[in-house]
Amino acid sequence: MVDMAELITPERIVLDLRARSKRQLLQELAELAARDTDIEASRVLAALLEREKLGTTAIGEGIAIPHAKIEGLERILGGFLRLAEPLDFEALDEQPVDLVFFILAPAAASTEHLKALARLARLLRDPELRARLRSESDIGRVYELLASGAQSHAA
Protein backbone atom coordinates (compact mmCIF):
# COMPACT_ATOMS: atom_id res chain seq x y z
CA MET A 1 0.00 0.00 0.00
CA VAL A 2 1.16 3.52 -0.78
CA ASP A 3 2.02 5.42 2.41
CA MET A 4 0.92 9.03 1.97
CA ALA A 5 3.27 10.13 4.77
CA GLU A 6 6.19 8.96 2.62
CA LEU A 7 4.75 9.88 -0.78
CA ILE A 8 4.28 13.55 0.16
CA THR A 9 6.96 14.98 2.41
CA PRO A 10 7.02 18.45 4.03
CA GLU A 11 9.92 19.34 1.70
CA ARG A 12 7.60 18.80 -1.27
CA ILE A 13 4.80 21.04 -0.01
CA VAL A 14 4.52 24.61 -1.28
CA LEU A 15 1.82 26.97 -0.05
CA ASP A 16 0.48 29.98 -1.96
CA LEU A 17 2.54 29.46 -5.10
CA ARG A 18 2.05 32.13 -7.73
CA ALA A 19 1.75 30.71 -11.25
CA ARG A 20 0.27 32.50 -14.25
CA SER A 21 -0.37 29.44 -16.40
CA LYS A 22 -0.75 25.69 -16.30
CA ARG A 23 2.66 25.31 -17.96
CA GLN A 24 4.33 27.58 -15.39
CA LEU A 25 2.73 25.56 -12.60
CA LEU A 26 3.99 22.30 -14.12
CA GLN A 27 7.47 23.86 -14.46
CA GLU A 28 7.47 24.78 -10.75
CA LEU A 29 6.30 21.29 -9.89
CA ALA A 30 9.05 19.74 -12.05
CA GLU A 31 11.72 21.85 -10.35
CA LEU A 32 10.40 20.88 -6.92
CA ALA A 33 10.48 17.19 -7.83
CA ALA A 34 13.93 17.44 -9.42
CA ARG A 35 15.42 18.68 -6.14
CA ASP A 36 14.59 15.31 -4.62
CA THR A 37 15.73 13.07 -7.48
CA ASP A 38 18.53 12.58 -9.96
CA ILE A 39 16.11 13.43 -12.76
CA GLU A 40 16.41 16.81 -14.50
CA ALA A 41 13.47 19.19 -14.18
CA SER A 42 13.21 19.41 -17.98
CA ARG A 43 12.58 15.64 -18.19
CA VAL A 44 9.95 15.81 -15.46
CA LEU A 45 8.24 18.74 -17.20
CA ALA A 46 8.27 16.93 -20.57
CA ALA A 47 6.66 13.83 -19.00
CA LEU A 48 4.00 15.92 -17.25
CA LEU A 49 3.18 17.87 -20.41
CA GLU A 50 2.97 14.64 -22.40
CA ARG A 51 0.51 13.22 -19.86
CA GLU A 52 -1.61 16.39 -19.96
CA LYS A 53 -1.93 15.96 -23.76
CA LEU A 54 -3.91 12.76 -23.05
CA GLY A 55 -6.44 14.75 -21.05
CA THR A 56 -6.56 17.05 -18.09
CA THR A 57 -5.45 15.76 -14.71
CA ALA A 58 -7.89 18.13 -12.99
CA ILE A 59 -10.40 15.96 -11.14
CA GLY A 60 -12.89 18.67 -10.14
CA GLU A 61 -13.58 20.62 -6.94
CA GLY A 62 -10.49 22.79 -7.63
CA ILE A 63 -8.09 19.83 -7.54
CA ALA A 64 -5.55 18.57 -10.05
CA ILE A 65 -3.27 15.56 -9.76
CA PRO A 66 -0.62 15.87 -12.48
CA HIS A 67 1.23 12.59 -12.75
CA ALA A 68 3.74 10.86 -14.96
CA LYS A 69 6.01 7.88 -15.21
CA ILE A 70 9.67 8.79 -15.44
CA GLU A 71 12.36 6.52 -16.85
CA GLY A 72 15.24 6.28 -14.37
CA LEU A 73 13.21 7.36 -11.34
CA GLU A 74 13.98 4.96 -8.50
CA ARG A 75 10.90 5.42 -6.30
CA ILE A 76 7.42 6.86 -6.41
CA LEU A 77 7.17 10.37 -5.01
CA GLY A 78 4.66 13.13 -4.73
CA GLY A 79 4.03 16.59 -3.46
CA PHE A 80 1.41 19.24 -2.85
CA LEU A 81 1.19 22.82 -4.07
CA ARG A 82 -1.51 25.27 -3.08
CA LEU A 83 -1.90 28.14 -5.51
CA ALA A 84 -2.29 31.74 -4.36
CA GLU A 85 -4.75 32.29 -7.24
CA PRO A 86 -6.73 29.48 -8.90
CA LEU A 87 -5.75 28.57 -12.47
CA ASP A 88 -7.71 27.21 -15.40
CA PHE A 89 -6.65 23.57 -15.69
CA GLU A 90 -9.32 22.56 -18.22
CA ALA A 91 -11.25 20.67 -15.53
CA LEU A 92 -14.38 18.82 -16.59
CA ASP A 93 -16.39 20.75 -13.97
CA GLU A 94 -14.88 23.98 -15.39
CA GLN A 95 -13.71 25.04 -11.91
CA PRO A 96 -10.24 26.60 -11.66
CA VAL A 97 -7.64 24.63 -9.73
CA ASP A 98 -5.97 25.76 -6.52
CA LEU A 99 -4.98 22.43 -4.91
CA VAL A 100 -2.36 20.52 -6.89
CA PHE A 101 -0.93 17.15 -5.95
CA PHE A 102 1.69 15.51 -8.12
CA ILE A 103 2.79 11.92 -8.39
CA LEU A 104 5.85 10.73 -10.24
CA ALA A 105 6.53 7.04 -10.59
CA PRO A 106 9.25 4.82 -12.03
CA ALA A 107 8.43 3.78 -15.59
CA ALA A 108 7.71 0.18 -14.49
CA ALA A 109 5.60 1.02 -11.41
CA SER A 110 2.12 1.07 -12.98
CA THR A 111 0.25 -0.62 -10.12
CA GLU A 112 1.82 1.52 -7.38
CA HIS A 113 1.20 4.66 -9.48
CA LEU A 114 -2.50 3.83 -9.94
CA LYS A 115 -2.94 2.97 -6.25
CA ALA A 116 -1.42 6.31 -5.25
CA LEU A 117 -3.74 8.18 -7.64
CA ALA A 118 -6.79 6.32 -6.35
CA ARG A 119 -5.81 6.91 -2.73
CA LEU A 120 -5.36 10.64 -3.29
CA ALA A 121 -8.63 10.95 -5.18
CA ARG A 122 -10.47 9.11 -2.39
CA LEU A 123 -8.84 11.28 0.29
CA LEU A 124 -9.75 14.49 -1.53
CA ARG A 125 -13.46 13.69 -1.74
CA ASP A 126 -13.64 14.96 1.86
CA PRO A 127 -14.90 18.59 1.67
CA GLU A 128 -13.66 19.35 5.20
CA LEU A 129 -10.13 18.25 4.31
CA ARG A 130 -10.20 20.35 1.13
CA ALA A 131 -11.31 23.40 3.15
CA ARG A 132 -8.53 22.86 5.68
CA LEU A 133 -5.92 22.45 2.95
CA ARG A 134 -7.09 25.76 1.50
CA SER A 135 -6.89 27.64 4.80
CA GLU A 136 -3.92 26.15 6.69
CA SER A 137 -0.82 28.36 6.68
CA ASP A 138 1.71 25.97 8.26
CA ILE A 139 3.47 23.41 6.02
CA GLY A 140 3.93 21.00 8.93
CA ARG A 141 0.22 21.11 9.68
CA VAL A 142 -0.66 20.57 5.99
CA TYR A 143 1.61 17.53 5.99
CA GLU A 144 -0.11 16.21 9.15
CA LEU A 145 -3.53 16.74 7.56
CA LEU A 146 -2.50 14.75 4.49
CA ALA A 147 -0.82 11.96 6.45
CA SER A 148 -3.58 11.64 9.06
CA GLY A 149 -6.32 12.09 6.47
CA ALA A 150 -4.85 9.26 4.47
CA GLN A 151 -4.87 7.05 7.56
CA SER A 152 -8.52 7.78 8.32
CA HIS A 153 -9.56 7.26 4.69
CA ALA A 154 -7.57 4.04 4.16
CA ALA A 155 -9.64 1.31 2.59
* Catalytic residue positions, numbered: 67
Closest C-alpha among 30, 46, 153 to residue 102? 30
SS3 of the chain: the string is CCCHHHHEEEEEEEEEECCCCHHHHHHHHHHHHHCCCCCCHHHHHHHHHHHHHHCCCEEECCEECCEEEECCCCCCEEEEEEEEEEECCCCCCCCCEEEEEEEEEECCCHHHHHHHHHHHHHHCCCHHHHHHHHHCCCHHHHHHHHHHHHHHCCC
In this structure, what are the phi and psi dihedrals at residue 94, rounded to the nearest 5 degrees? 65, 15
